[in-house]
Amino acid sequence: MSETSASDEILTTADGRPLKEALARAQFFAKRRAFFLVLPLLAFILLTFVMPIGQMLHRSVKNEGFTVHTDVTTGARTPIMTELSAWFDQNPSGTVPDEAAYTALVNDIGALDGLRSAGSAGTRINYLRAGSRSLFTKAARKWEKLEAPYQEAFYDLDDEWADPTLWAAMRQASNSYTFDFYLAAMDYTRDAEGSVTQVDENRQVYVKLFVRTLFLSLLITFMTFVLAYPIAHLLATLPLRHSNLLMILVLLPFWTSLLVRTTSWMVLLQSQGVVNDTMVGIGLLADESRLQMMYNQTGTVIAMTHILLPFMVLPLYSVMRPINPSYVRAARSLGATSWTAFRRIYFPQTVPGIGAGALLVFILAVGYYITPALVGGADGQLISNLIAFHMQKSLNWSLAAALASLLLGGILLLYWLYDRLVGIDNLKLG
Amino acid sequence: MKLRTALMATVFTSAAFAANAQEVTVMSWGGAYTKSQVEAYHKPFTAETGIKVNSVDADNPAAPLKAQVEAGNVSIDVADVEFSDAIRLCDEGLLEEIDASMLTAAPDGTSAADDFIDGAINDCSVGNIVWTTLIAYDTNVYGDNAPSTMADFFDTETYPGKRGMRKSPKAMLEMALMGDGVPAAEVYDLLETEEGIEQAFAKLDSIKDDIVWWEAGAQPPQLLADGEVTMTIVWNGRIFNAIASEGQPFALIWDGQIYDLDLFVVPKGAPNKDEAMEFIKFATSTGPLAEQASWIPYGPARVSSIARVGTFHNDDSIDMGEHMPTAPANLTNALQNDFEFWADMDSELSERFNAWLAN
Amino acid sequence: MALPKHADRLERVWHYTYLVICALIFLFLIAPILVVMPLSFNSEPYFTFTEKMLKFDPTGYSARWYDLLLTFGMQAPDVPRDSSWWSDTWNNAHWIQATKNSIIVGFFSTILATGLGTVAALGLSRPEMPGRRAIMAILISPMIVPIIITATGLFFFYSSVGIQNWGIPYLGVVLAHATLGIPFVIITVTATLVGFDHSLTRAAASLGANPARTFFKVQMPLILPGVISGGLFAFVTSFDEVVVVLFVGGLDEQTIPRQMWNGIREQISPAILSVATILVVISILLLATVELLRRRSERLRGISPG
């Protein structure tokens, strides 16, 4: 211990070091030990998760379709459209393309033909201006036959080469880094002068899908809340022996494979499925007017509510269990009706659980892919399905990355909210 | 002790994955079509050369092929793709070139170049079959009042019930126009104009609420069998399998069929390129092409094979020739897919199609 | 949840209505799981209960779909069932391959997730841990980020580093599944550590044990139920995962969910339902294990289950 005398003002430890210093040192070692315990996992997650996601998000702003050709076998990178870029650099935006521009264009297209990248260059422009890909592929097939004056030659080839939006698009694409994909992800595009405008009515799809995803996720969250609250209350108020048994009915779906549950719903909800057959069998429905519950939004909502229900029950249960029943009894004894007692005493105590469950369900619902893909049909598709489409079918990876980063941004915001309100360390899974 | 066991387990399982020197991975469309290829190409090829064939499936092999080549992570050696995709992928430099001189000649001596039908031999692809997209319906539902033309497909009042359609603009837009009364010869000219495209979408709009969309080839016969739809667009081979092998009460409407060619391609950077070429050489020779026709009614892409087309492998009473897209009786109002049109317009029309779907 | 003696008629009516509502909700929860089980024994290739099945006619039921799981993908399924048939099944049947792959991937990813996660949870549960909130957020993030984003990011990343050329089979999928399972391990182990009495470690130290010995002899046995629970969660996550496998898995890395995904889109035959039934039975067994462990830990801590 320490020795104090009237003249000594600093406390020291047994070996003479000032106590504060010794404490700080000990704490430093303890912190370092704790940190080193976490370090392997942190490094692992940073490497296998954070870095890949970061790399993918980088794709959302960088697209080299019109600037660099990468050979698929050797990986060699060759700059393309160099002469045209130079012309764009020398001439400000809005300049009408002259003969020099078209000469640069024909030389560059010749280079494209040699590298066989006319298609991918054209695809890059196609993202900005529909129908442009075919212009490039046609030009690449026929460039050798073109003669000066090239402006005329190109107009003869296809009069769309005169379109100022095409030139604006090419100017835009000459820069590897761009925000165009974010614009596209929000249904905006650039017009001939390069300013931002909305995409045609009949092409607007992404904002609609974001809104639909938001709406359906809110609906599903609400429905899981409505269904989970009664059974969580029942489970929390029954003696542990009984509630553990009933809990199996909640945990079994939770542990069952997602595909199995989705398949079960397909079996149940089909036109000739179990639910419809039962209702026709007992006479509720006529055979011709079977309910259409599959391959539409109804199917998505029902299946996802079922799948996400345990995620709402478990947090609610863990909050309701420790609630002392004597509060409600005290309220009743003071003259409250059972509804008032519930509304003013019981319900407010469960609000943290509702918040936790609702945020969890909402965040999961927004990112769902499998269930809408199998039972959603065309109008039950969520934004994840469109991201998957751009990843796997249309192969517009930059747009997929832009959509994904918008989705991720929204979710991280909610996650931050969740942390603020509930605290991540308070997440209990029953 | 536990560590040792774990280590041994790891070593044991790694040993189980000793690399197979001789194998080739072929990607196709799944279901009855892959089965026909396994029986007609894969098994005889392995029997003859000893090279193991791994068969993998996708809804449309062109997309995963492109994704793999562009990501630099190619695991398939041969893929079976539609004509317009084969041309487009070759244009973009994503396919290996195939030396046409290595293809086997016909047994009677005709050179491969003469024996293959038009369009079957290209720089990067070799044709294998002619297939078609057409309409199938449930006879139990329609009984006496059976539909018979493309226009009937779009007529939900006279022929009530849901419709199945492929979730892709390819062939769907042409059929919409034909269902609207446009003669087959004018369809592609019309589709190159904005009015034509809008007309096609408007026709699709007229039955939009009744459409159930499918992506995998095996889905439409399943949808018909389940009763989810009463009429559907389907690939003729798959529906034939449902009728002949499973005894389902379906019938076909050949009016407005859109036929196309399928070809074998080799992706750039394929891990087993030589085995891939050997496989293509074998699979596109006269015998195997004729053999696949006994499993599924897809027309062989070689004249010498067409001559050899016989009966269904399981049932001698069914003559496969009658069920092929190119049988004269079936060609009354047929349209050949314009591969150039789709090679150019696929991405743009797909985008429009998706937007239309989502609205 | 007994009805209090002073309840009036309205309350009684509400009470029984409430019980009925709860019963219906439980039915909603469990019906889809249970309905596939009898359907998997359907002798017809349909997804609905046939007449014969409803009358409990034995000819309406058959185990043919379970048999199909063994034969699908074999070279020669119709020969008599001798040892060569079994070796053919073992090597070639798609579902058997898928099962093998699922178990291998699940096993290794669970080991990785549980090992790293437990150690990290030990560090995180210490009060002196710096930056706890932020680090916890990063570690839990794989559970929150939409799976499609994770899958696409991993696809590009693994392709760019060429992970398929490193010669270690399943590496990409195992790493990805470990990443996805780690949040579960962290959550369960930190929850267990919350109730851990740290004076036990101090007592062990005062008796002369070094930290490692303390960990293995004192802490580990007490937190073991939490670790196993977390490990089970991680295993189930990996076993059930399909999106990442679709994107990242190689062509010979078909797991059970991926095979099911193919099957759902290709041939919706009741074979899928047989797999579903088997998986449900396995889930029940796992659930029972978790419950037994929980009871054991409560016994150890001296709490009786009420």
Q: For chain B, give the percent of residues with pLDDT over 70.
A: 94
What integer pLDDT is reported at residue B20 of this predicted model?
Answer: 47
Chains that touch C (3 or more CB pairs under 8 A): A, B
Q: Which of residues 56-95 of C touch A (CB under 8 A)?
A: none
d(CA A142, CA A123): 18
Taking alpha carbons only, the member of C236, C135, A126 closest to residue B347 is A126
Residues 6+ apart with CB under 8 A from A149: A99, A102
Q: Which of B91, B349, B356 to mutate to test the interface with A (most CBs of A within 10 A)?
A: B91
List chain B residues with CB under 8 Å of A391: 67
The partner residue sitting opposite B344, judged by closest CB among A133, A295, A378, is A133
What integer pLDDT is reported at residue B12 of this predicted model?
Answer: 45
What integer pLDDT is reported at residue B275 of this predicted model?
Answer: 93
B348 to chain A, any CB pair closer than 8 A? The answer is: yes
In the numeric block, which tokens belong to residue B359?
A: 């609205």
Q: Which of B352, B354, B357 to mutate to test the interface with A (most CBs of A within 10 A)?
A: B354
Taking alpha carbons only, the member of B304, B302, B300, B301 closest to residue B320 is B300
d(CA A167, CA A188): 18
The partner residue sitting opposite C159, judged by closest CB among B13, B72, B76, is B72
Contact across the interface for C126 and A34, Cβ inside 8 Å:
yes
Lowest mean pLDDT among A261-265, B70-74, B127-131, B279-283: B70-74
Amino acid code (one letter) for C244: V
Taking alpha carbons only, the member of C84, C89, C83, C49 closest to residue C68 is C89
List chain B residues with CB under 8 Å of A202: 352, 355-356, 359
What integer pLDDT is reported at residue A1 of this predicted model?
Answer: 46
**Low-confidence stretches of chain A (pLDDT beneath 70):** 1-8, 194, 422-430
Neighbours of B114 (CB within 10 A): 12
List chain B residues with CB under 8 Å of A131: 345, 348
Contact across the interface for C116 and A41, Cβ inside 8 Å:
yes
> How many residues would you count in chain C?
306
For residue range A84-100, list pLDDT tens digits in order: 899 888 888 878 888 88
Mean pLDDT value of segment C1-28: 84
List chain B residues with CB under 8 Å of A133: 344, 347-348
C164 to chain B, any CB pair closer than 8 A? The answer is: yes
Per-chain mean pLDDT for chain C = 82
Q: Are A274 and C275 in contact (CB under 8 A)?
A: no
Provide the shortest C-alpha distance from residue C187 to chain A (in Å): 7
B63 to chain C, any CB pair closer than 8 A? The answer is: no
Provide the shortest C-alpha distance from residue A339 to chain C (in Å): 10
For residue range B11-64, list pLDDT tens digits in order: 444 434 434 468 999 999 988 899 899 999 999 999 999 999 988 888 889 988
Q: Between A150-157 and A99-115, two packed helices, what is the crossing angle to 10 degrees? A: 60
Q: Which of B197, B347, B352 to mutate to test the interface with A (most CBs of A within 10 A)?
A: B347
Give the 3-state secondary structure of residue B55.
strand
* Residue A372: alpha-carbon gap to chain centroid: 14
Q: Are A304 and A217 in contact (CB under 8 A)?
A: no
Q: Please determine, for residue C111, whether its predicted confidence score (pLDDT) is greater than 70.
A: yes
Contact across the interface for C251 and B57, Cβ inside 8 Å:
no
Q: Are B128 and B28 in contact (CB under 8 A)?
A: no
Q: For chain B, give the percent of residues with pLDDT over 90.
A: 42
By C-alpha distance, the chain B residue nearest C266 is B218
Rank A230-244, B172-186, C218-232, C236-250 by mean pLDDT and report only the highest: B172-186
- Band the pLDDT of B7: cuts 50, 70, 90: very low
B347 to chain A, any CB pair closer than 8 A? The answer is: yes
Provide the shortest C-alpha distance from residue C73 to chain A (in Å): 21
d(CA C16, CA C6): 15
List chain A residues with CB under 8 Å of C148: 367, 369, 384, 387-388, 391, 404
Q: Are C246 and C261 in contact (CB under 8 A)?
A: yes
Provide the shortest C-alpha distance from residue B148 to chain A (in Å): 23
d(CA A146, CA C86): 67
Terminal CA-CA length for chain A:
46
What integer pLDDT is reported at residue C46 of this predicted model?
Answer: 67
Residues 6+ apart with CB under 8 A from A305: A220, A223, A224, A227
Asked if the peptide bond before residue A149 counts as cis, ω within 30 degrees of 0, the response is: yes
Q: For chain C, give the percent of residues with pLDDT over 90.
A: 13
Q: Is residue C304 packed enough to be buried (19+ CB in 10 Å), middle (13-18) or exposed (0-12)?
A: exposed
By C-alpha distance, the chain A residue nearest C143 is A364
Pairing label, strands B211-214, B250-265: unpaired
C142 to chain A, any CB pair closer than 8 A? The answer is: yes
Contact across the interface for C257 and A259, Cβ inside 8 Å:
yes
Q: Is residue B24 packed enough to be buried (19+ CB in 10 Å), middle (13-18) or exposed (0-12)?
A: buried
Amino acid code (one letter) for B59: D
Q: Are B324 and B309 in contact (CB under 8 A)?
A: yes
Q: Which of C20, C29, C154, C171 to mutate to test the interface with A (most CBs of A within 10 A)?
A: C29
Q: Are A146 and A99 in contact (CB under 8 A)?
A: no
What integer pLDDT is reported at residue A278 of this predicted model?
Answer: 83
d(CA A358, CA A374): 24
3-state SS, one letter per residue, for chain A? CCCCCCCCCCCECCCCCEHHHHHHHHHHHHHHHHHHHHHHHHHHHHHHHHHHHHHHHHHCCECCCCCEEECCCCCCEEECCHHHHHHHHHCCCCCCCCHHHHHHHHHHHHHHHHHCCHHHHHHHHHHHCCCCHHHHHHHHHHHHHCCCCHHHHHHHHCHHHHCHHHHHHHHHHCCCECCHHHHHHCCEEECCCCCEEECCHHHCCHHHHHHHHHHHHHHHHHHHHHHHHHHHHHHHHCCHHHHHHHHHHHHHHHHCCHHHHHHHHHHHHCCCCHHHHHHHHCCCCCHHHCCCCCCCHHHHHHHHHHHHHHHHHHHHHHHHCCCCHHHHHHHHHCCCCHHHHHHHHHHHHHHHHHHHHHHHHHHHHHCCCHHHHHHCCCCCCCHHHHHHHHHHCCCCHHHHHHHHHHHHHHHHHHHHHHHHHCCHHHCCCC
**Residue B267 per-residue DSSP state:** B
Contact across the interface for B354 and A120, Cβ inside 8 Å:
no
Contact across the interface for A205 and B348, Cβ inside 8 Å:
no
Mean pLDDT value of segment C176-200: 85
Q: Please determine, for residue B353, whether its predicted confidence score (pLDDT) is greater than 70.
A: yes
What integer pLDDT is reported at residue A229 of this predicted model?
Answer: 94
Q: Between B219-226 and B236-244, two packed helices, what is the crossing angle to 10 degrees? A: 50
B222 to chain A, any CB pair closer than 8 A? The answer is: no
What integer pLDDT is reported at residue C128 of this predicted model?
Answer: 77
**Residue B104 per-residue DSSP state:** P
List chain B residues with CB under 8 Å of A381: 358
The ipTM is 0.81
C50 to chain B, any CB pair closer than 8 A? The answer is: no
Radius of gyration of chain A (CA): 32
d(CA A369, CA A383): 8
Contact across the interface for B226 and C162, Cβ inside 8 Å:
no
Contact across the interface for C250 and B75, Cβ inside 8 Å:
yes
The partner residue sitting opposite B218, judged by closest CB among C159, C164, C266, is C266
Dihedral sign (CA B52, B56, B61, B63)? negative
d(CA B284, CA B201): 38
What integer pLDDT is reported at residue C279 of this predicted model?
Answer: 84
What integer pLDDT is reported at residue C285 of this predicted model?
Answer: 84
d(CA B217, CA C275): 23
d(CA B194, CA C267): 39
A36 to chain C, any CB pair closer than 8 A? The answer is: yes
Amino acid code (one letter) for A109: I
Q: What is the count of residue pairs from A and B with beta carbons less than 8 Å apart?
A: 93
Q: Which of residues 13-42 of C touch A (CB under 8 A)?
A: 14, 18-19, 21-22, 25-26, 28-33, 35-36, 39
d(CA B223, CA C284): 33
Contact across the interface for A42 and C120, Cβ inside 8 Å:
yes
Q: Which residues pair with B259 in a beta bridge?
A: B132, B336
By C-alpha distance, the chain C residue nearest B215 is C265
List chain A residues with CB under 8 Å of B343: 137
Neighbours of B219 (CB within 10 A): 27
Lowest mean pLDDT among A285-294, B3-12, C165-174: B3-12
What integer pLDDT is reported at residue A168 of this predicted model?
Answer: 87
Contact across the interface for A425 and C36, Cβ inside 8 Å:
no
Per-chain mean pLDDT for chain B = 87
Lowest mean pLDDT among A216-225, B36-45, B171-180, C242-251: C242-251
List chain A residues with CB under 8 Å of B86: none
Provide the shortest C-alpha distance from residue C39 to chain B (in Å): 15
3-state SS, one letter per residue, for chain C? CCCCCCCCHHHHHHHHHHHHHHHHHHHHHHHHHHHHHHHCCECCCCCCCCHHHHCCCHHHECCHHHHHHHHCCCCCCCCCCCHHHHHHHHHHCHHHHHHHHHHHHHHHHHHHHHHHHHHHHHHHCCCCCCCHHHHHHHHHHHHHCCHHHHHHHHHHHHHHHCHHHCCCCCHHHHHHHHHHHHHHHHHHHHHHHHCCCCHHHHHHHHCCCCHHHHHHHHHHHHHHHHHHHHHHHHHHHHHHCCHHHHHHCCCCCCCHHHHHHHHHHHCCCCHHHHHHHHHHHHHHHHHHHHHHHHHHHHHHHCCCCC
Q: What is the count of residue pairs from A and C with beta carbons less than 8 Å apart?
A: 261
List chain A residues with CB under 8 Å of B352: 130, 202-203
d(CA C213, CA C191): 23
Determine which helix (DSSP H) or strand (DSSP E) holds B205, and give its type and residue range: helix B194-206
Provide the shortest C-alpha distance from residue A430 to chain C (in Å): 9
